[in-house]
Amino acid sequence: MIFANETDKIWQVGYISGAFDMFHIGHLNLIRRAKERCEKLIVGVLSDDVIMKRKKKLPIHPLVDRIAIVGAIRYVDEVDITTFELLHKDIAWEKYHFNAMFSGDDHAQGSWTNPREEKALAAVGAELVMFPYTERISSTLLRERIS
């Protein structure tokens, strides 16, 4: 795992996956920072059923709308649907052949990190790269504010 502020490396293909529900500046910061560090950026948008299973709630915006929002961002070169299978980083690599998988550093520990997957990525020359999390906003905070 690499923290982006510890290197100036530029990767050829980068990949991010997320719900991107209630799109906010934290999402944009992550996507923009990732694009600054790779030539091509692929963004996976979690399917509604993946969000329901992982977060125990339906997204506010349906998948088709979230794909349209993410796909309209100038930093995004390709957008795709993240299925249950693609939650496994090594399987996502098999599909997209990225050199770097980007995330917010709020995922630097816990269930998002998996030593087996990290080792599998390293074996094919792919790295996990963490950007600083935008702490002032999250989809969870937005949901709380509108409740």
Per-residue confidence in pLDDT tens, the chain, 147 aa: 888 888 999 999 999 999 999 888 889 999 999 999 999 999 999 999 999 998 888 999 999 999 999 999 999 999 999 999 999 999 999 999 999 999 886 655 555 567 788 888 999 999 999 887 766 565 556 556 666
Q: Which long-range contacts does 139-142 make (Cβ < 8 Å, 24+ apart)? A: 139/19, 139/21, 139/22, 139/24, 142/22, 142/24
Neighbours of 147 (CB within 10 A): 5
Q: What is the pTM of this model?
A: 0.87
Q: What is the CATH number of domain 2-83+95-102+116-146?
A: 3.40.50.620
Residue 81 region, left (φ>0) first, then alpha (ψ -120 to 50), else beta?
A: beta
